């Protein structure tokens, strides 16, 4: 077993429960995909339906590693750890909904009761036998199940997600898989704290782009957060899915989101679709990369995945396909240049740029008032511009230098903002 070296965990951050805006009280998070169930698939046909294992290089990557020693946190509706395909996969968990089991393995409903088990099976399912049952992209990786419950009568969804991420980081997660969406591009400040905690502790965060079929027309948070690897969905033929994906410039890679099959609580299987399924497939591939390259930090893992993706168009990154279709074999084995920072951005830098207005006021002593350049006080008769400038004398060069400096700083600031808006590799 190859165990990835990682930095020592920081002390757990205290979780802030205060709402940052009154409007959040009315918000409700929802799973990124409402599974489109078909009649339960026969157990002996399940493995044959997993076309992505070959089409996306996953079986080939298994010749190098199956994800040993890597921990994937599934923040969702609660994974059924007793499912035959998941026996031995779930090593721990936690409930943040306030009504699940303390282990996080009680599927919560009524909406989404099957969701987490399907997600977990695509990430790290073991199968029920050598050739039967559902097997995940990283069948030797381990799972932490953090149970959530979204709805009008549930605990605030934003708080659940923030608390769940912090718990996952503090309890050994190497990868966090988020098959959920806020259905708006922005996010609360409690998420700043949570995603920063993941970034500071070398955890890869992967999020679903959402689905048009469920009302998510454009990519929404958490898939808009800098540093997060966002997953869009494609059809069996590799075309962007009309219903089981959405569009946005933050998409990192694409993965299959149609004609999927997943494990459901109680031991069965069901057909489904959506980026909720594409995301754990990529999370499993990330686990393969972490196991094969224990020397890489989270930025290096993400860089390998997007750098080795198969471009779908001549534009890379593309607003629909991102860097292309994920390729597990290439992500594990290809030669890829090292990077010093996450090519998809940094939540720490974003906070510095965009939350400064909420910081403490800066008080400084201003110089004595003086005439504006080219003008005289209102009480003085208007004179020629040349005479007003002459009155300023030696002060003009200093003012010109100050003005030029402020202009340059404004340009740099604008460039920094644009970098986070586009989230492309400009360096």
Supply the residues annotated as catalytic: 76, 115, 276
Task: Return d(Cα 180, Cα 184) in angstroms, integer.
Answer: 12
Q: 421: part of which helix (H) or strand (E)?
A: helix 395-422
Name residues whose C-beta falls within 8 Å of residue 124's C-beta, 6 or more positions apart in sequence.
Answer: 67, 72, 86, 89, 136, 137, 138, 139, 140, 141, 142, 143, 284, 287
Residue linked to tokens 């923030």: 162
DSSP designation for 247: B
Task: Return d(Cα 183, Cα 51) in angstroms, integer.
Answer: 30
Contact 301, 287 (CB under 8 A): no
Task: Return d(Cα 9, Cα 172) in angstroms, integer.
Answer: 8
Phi-psi label, residue 183: left if phi above 0, alpha if psi -120 to 50, beta otherwise: left
Which among 418, 420, 410 is positioned nearest to 341, based on CA atoms? 420
Structure tokens at 426: 């400009």
DSSP designation for 265: T
CB atoms within 10 A of CB 194: 31
Task: Return d(Cα 197, Cα 209) in angstroms, integer.
Answer: 22
DSSP designation for 385: H
Integer-rounded Cα Rg, in Å, for the chain is 25
Task: Return d(Cα 172, Cα 155) in angstroms, integer.
Answer: 25
Which among 145, 144, 125 is positioned nearest to 136, based on CA atoms? 125
For residue 306, which phi and psi values (nearest 5 degrees)? -80, -30
């Amino acid at each position: 077993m190859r165990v990835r070296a990682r930095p020592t965990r920081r002390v757990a951050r205290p979780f802030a429960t205060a709402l940052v805006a009154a409007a959040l009280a009315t918000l409700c998070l929802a799973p990124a995909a409402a599974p489109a169930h078909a009649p339960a698939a026969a157990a002996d046909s399940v493995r044959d339906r997993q076309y992505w294992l070959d089409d996306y290089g996953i079986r080939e990557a298994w010749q190098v590693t199956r994800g040993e020693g890597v921990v994937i946190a599934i923040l969702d509706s609660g994974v059924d750890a007793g499912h035959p395909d998941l026996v031995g996969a779930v090593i721990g968990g936690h409930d943040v909904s306030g009504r699940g089991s303390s282990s996080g393995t009680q599927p919560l409903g009524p909406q989404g009761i099957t969701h987490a088990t399907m997600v977990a099976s695509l990430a790290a399912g073991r199968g029920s036998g050598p050739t039967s049952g559902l097997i995940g992209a990283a069948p030797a990786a381990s799972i932490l199940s953090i149970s959530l419950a979204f709805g009008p009568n549930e605990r605030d969804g934003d708080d659940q997600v923030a608390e769940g991420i912090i718990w996952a980081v503090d309890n050994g997660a190497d990868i966090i898989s988020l098959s959920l969406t806020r259905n708006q591009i922005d996010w609360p400040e409690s998420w700043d704290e949570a995603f920063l905690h993941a970034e500071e502790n070398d955890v890869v965060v992967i999020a679903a782009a959402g689905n048009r079929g469920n009302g998510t027309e454009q990519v929404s948070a958490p898939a808009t957060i800098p540093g997060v690897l966002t997953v869009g969905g494609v059809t069996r033929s590799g075309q962007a899915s009309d219903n089981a994906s959405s569009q946005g410039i933050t998409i990192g890679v694409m993965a299959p989101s149609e004609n999927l099959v997943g494990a459901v609580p109680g031991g069965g299987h069901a057909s489904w679709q959506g980026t909720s399924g594409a995301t754990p497939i990529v999370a499993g591939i990330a686990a393969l990369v972490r196991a094969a390259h224990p020397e890489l930090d989270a930025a290096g893992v993400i860089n390998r995945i997007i750098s080795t993706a198969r471009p779908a168009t001549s534009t890379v990154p593309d607003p629909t396909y991102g860097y292309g279709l994920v390729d597990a074999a290439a992500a594990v084995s290809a030669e890829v240049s090292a990077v010093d920072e996450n090519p998809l951005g940094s939540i720490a830098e974003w906070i510095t740029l965009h939350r400064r207005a909420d910081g403490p006021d800066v008080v400084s002593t201003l110089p004595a008032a003086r005439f504006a350049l080219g003008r005289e006080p209102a009480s003085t008769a208007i004179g020629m511009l040349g005479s007003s400038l002459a009155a300023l004398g030696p002060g003009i060069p200093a003012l010109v230098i100050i003005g030029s400096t402020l202009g340059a700083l404004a340009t740099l600031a604008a460039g920094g903002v644009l970098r986070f808006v586009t989230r492309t590799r400009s360096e």
